[in-house]
């Protein structure tokens, strides 16, 4: 047995990107989700949505290509792909709430096995509330994927029976991608889809605050030549 | 002849009184009417309520108003983007109140006010702290929160092109909240990069129509 690996943020993004199919429309939330854009398979046509009104967002703009009037949700200058469109904010959020987006990919503080998501406010006494587009993205997209570390820096689990931080959305999460595993939320419980090479389910369970169910064959997350993470 | 073009920022902004509620367009730094806000700061209006997506970043725009103690309250979706220390300090010291609204709900509350609608049900925020104290309902198994329209005394807006009637065009993603705020404010003041002849904008592409605009001033124009 190899020593268990802990996936980097880029490797978590690689796993998410591999799950986005041809033709999908996707909103990438601020923070870790923006990394997913770097790993989307180039042979798939995927429409990226940015909450500030862009549908058909391209790569980050460098140097002279950067235009201050064309930025993404993280305030980074971006480019457009052929066929892109730009709307006002009401129309942009109608795309979310109206159920037109196939995937919303969000960062998270906590996910519960009933699909509840907390990602906008911690219980730190001086925390400043900031919701942004997260609550709309959580309720609107057909599938909500969450990217986060499996535990906090001090080792407390982020996958729980019940969230302790204020909720972003109720029963909204479909899949969680962590540095150790890919976990689906199904029928009010965690279904373990894949686990990193070298880690046992018991070891992962010890870092998880609700039972992990294994349905069918458990798949392994392995690193390939250049460090690219893949589910096998 | 209808002519909404003002010769200076001061002439355009003189209507803004202490205690006013002001919508400010923009997202990040795109579409923010920085030049108008700078003139508003010089003119001294205070006890303002600011409605905008953010609560200022860096040292200009809304951040400059907050640092000068002109703002009592901010209604926004995301007050902690990068470089938002001026708001954070003012909030933590109790000088500025905050109403944090989900971004799509903020846009739709503004749109509803501009469209003459009353309260509306949205699924956003159902079962969260945002729904506390509000009416909720469940329709076909889906939960909704009743949200109120949001209007304001004034809107400060940045457009790319404007004509003397107040028709507006925006550039790229600088559009964001600007057209909605034009509709929802009782008095809308626009800074434009360029003023063009009436009739030169293609009618079917005009993004904000003349009736939603009260005053237009060149971004760079000032006494």
Please give the mean pLDDT across all residues of chain A. 95
Query: Chain A closest CA to B1's CA: distance in Å?
Result: 30
Asked, for residue A4, whether it belongs to a domain, the answer is no
**Which tokens go with B55?**
């609560």
- What residues of A are in contact with residue B114 (Cβ under 8 Å)? none
Query: Chain B closest CA to A225's CA: distance in Å?
Result: 36
DSSP string, chain A: -PPPP---HHHHHHHHHHTPPTT-EEEEPSSGGGGGGGGS-TTS--EEEETTTEEEEEEEP-GGG--TT-B-TTS-BEEEEEEEEE--HHHHHHHHHTT--SEEEEE-SEEETTS-EE-S--S-TTPPP--TTHHHHHHHSSEEEEE--SB-TTS-BSEESS--SPPSBSS---EEE-SSEEEEEETTEEEEEEEETT--HHHHHHT-BS-EE--SSPEEEEE-TTS-EEE-
Higher pLDDT pick, A31 / B116: B116
pLDDT confidence tier of residue B88, bands split at 50, 70 and 90: very high
Asked, for residue A2, whether it belongs to a domain, the answer is no
- Residue ranges and CATH numbers for the domains of chain B are 9-116+148-218 (3.40.1080.10)
Selected residues 18-47 of chain B with any CB under 8 Å from a CB in chain A = 27-31
Put simply, the answer to whether A130 touches B77 (Cβ < 8 Å) is: yes
Put simply, the answer to whether A136 touches B102 (Cβ < 8 Å) is: yes
Please give the mean pLDDT across all residues of chain B. 97
Q: What is the pLDDT of residue A225?
A: 86
Instruction: Determine phi and psi for A107, rounding to 5 degrees.
Output: -75, 165
Query: Chain B closest CA to A136's CA: distance in Å?
Result: 5
Nearest to B103 among A88, A131, A167 (CB): A131
Looking at residue A181, which CATH number applies to its domain?
3.40.1080.10
Nearest to A135 among B53, B92, B125 (CB): B125
Q: What is the pLDDT of residue A126?
A: 86
Query: Residue B115 gets which letter from DSSP?
Result: T
Nearest to B124 among A90, A97, A167 (CB): A97
Asked, for residue A135, whether it belongs to a domain, the answer is yes
| Euclidean distance between CA atoms B163 and A72, whole angstroms | 29
User: Is the pLDDT confidence value at B160 over 90?
Assistant: yes
| Euclidean distance between CA atoms B109 and B184, whole angstroms | 9
Question: What ipTM was estimated for this complex?
Answer: 0.96
Q: What is the pLDDT of residue A231?
A: 96
Q: What is the pLDDT of residues B173-211, one digit of tens each?
A: 999 999 999 999 999 999 999 999 999 999 999 999 999
CB within 8 A of A132, min separation 6: which ones?
A30, A51, A73, A120, B77, B78, B102, B103
Q: What is the pLDDT of residue A2?
A: 57
- For tokens 């469109």, the residue is A85
Asked, for residue A56, whether it belongs to a domain, the answer is yes
- What residues of B are in contact with residue A99 (Cβ under 8 Å)? none
Determine which of B98, B124, B139, B175 to mutate to test the interface with A (most A C-beta atoms within 10 Å).
B124
State what percent of residues in chain A have pLDDT above 90. 91
Q: What is the pLDDT of residues A50-95, one digit of tens each?
A: 999 999 999 999 999 999 999 999 999 999 999 999 999 999 999 9
Domains contained in chain A, number: 1
Asked, for residue A207, whether it belongs to a domain, the answer is yes
Mean pLDDT calculated for residue range A2-19 = 92
A96 lies in which domain range? 9-231
Chain A touched by B122 (CB under 8 Å):
yes
Residues of A involved in catalysis: 51
* Contact between B156 and B35 (Cβ < 8 Å): no
User: Is the pLDDT confidence value at A3 over 80?
Assistant: no
- What residues of B are in contact with residue A52 (Cβ under 8 Å)? 27-28, 30, 173, 176
Give the Å distances, CA to CA, from A154 to A167, A177, A197, B146.
21, 19, 23, 39
- What residues of A are in contact with residue B175 (Cβ under 8 Å)? 53, 86-88
End-to-end CA distance of chain B: 25
Asked, for residue A210, whether it belongs to a domain, the answer is yes
Asked, for residue A87, whether it belongs to a domain, the answer is yes
Q: What is the pLDDT of residue B222?
A: 58
């Amino acid at each position: 047995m190899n020593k268990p690996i802990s996936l980097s943020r880029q490797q978590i993004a690689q796993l998410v990107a591999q799950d986005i199919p041809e033709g999908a429309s996707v909103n990438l939330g601020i923070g870790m989700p923006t990394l997913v854009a770097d790993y989307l398979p180039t042979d798939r046509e995927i429409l990226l949505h940015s909450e500030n009104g862009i549908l058909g967002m391209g790569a980050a703009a460098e140097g002279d290509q950067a235009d201050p009037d064309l930025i993404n949700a993280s305030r980074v200058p971006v480019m457009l792909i052929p066929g892109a469109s730009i709307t006002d904010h009401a129309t942009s959020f109608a795309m979310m709430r109206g159920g037109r987006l196939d995937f919303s990919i969000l960062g998270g503080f906590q996910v519960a096995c009933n699909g509840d998501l907390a990602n906008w406010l911690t219980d730190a006494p001086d925390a400043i509330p900031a919701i942004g587009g997260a609550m709309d993205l959580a309720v609107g997209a057909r599938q909500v994927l969450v990217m986060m570390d499996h535990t906090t820096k001090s080792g407390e689990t982020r996958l729980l029976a019940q969230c302790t931080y204020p909720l972003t959305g109720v029963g909204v999460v479909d899949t969680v991608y962590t540095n150790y595993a890919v976990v689906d939320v199904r029928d009010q419980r965690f279904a373990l889809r894949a686990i990193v090479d070298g880690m046992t389910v018991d070891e992962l369970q010890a870092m998880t605050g609700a039972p992990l169910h294994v349905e069918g064959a458990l798949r392994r997350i392995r690193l390939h030549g250049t460090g690219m993470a893949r589910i096998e | 002849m209808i002519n909404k073009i003002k010769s200076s920022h001061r002439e355009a902004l003189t209507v803004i009184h202490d205690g006013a509620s002001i919508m400010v367009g923009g997202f990040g730094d795109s579409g923010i009417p920085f030049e108008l806000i700078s003139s508003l700061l010089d003119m001294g209006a205070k006890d303002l309520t600011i409605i905008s997506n953010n609560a200022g970043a860096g040292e200009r725009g809304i951040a400059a108003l907050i640092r000068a103690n002109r703002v009592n309250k901010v209604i926004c979706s995301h007050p902690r983007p990068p470089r938002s220390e001026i708001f954070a300090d003012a909030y933590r010291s109790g000088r500025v109140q905050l109403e944090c609204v989900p971004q799509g709900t903020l846009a739709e509350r503004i749109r509803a006010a501009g469209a003459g609608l009353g309260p509306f049900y949205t699924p956003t925020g159902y079962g969260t702290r945002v729904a506390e104290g509000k009416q909720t309902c469940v329709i076909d198994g889906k939960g909704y929160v009743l949200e109120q329209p949001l209007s304001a005394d004034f809107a400060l807006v940045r457009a790319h092109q404007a004509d003397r009637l107040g028709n507006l065009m925006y550039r790229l993603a600088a559009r964001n909240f600007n057209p909605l705020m034009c509709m929802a404010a009782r008095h809308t003041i626009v800074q434009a990069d360029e003023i063009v002849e009436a009739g030169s904008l293609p009618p079917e592409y005009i993004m904000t129509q003349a009736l939603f605009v009260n005053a237009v001033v060149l971004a760079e124009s000032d006494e």
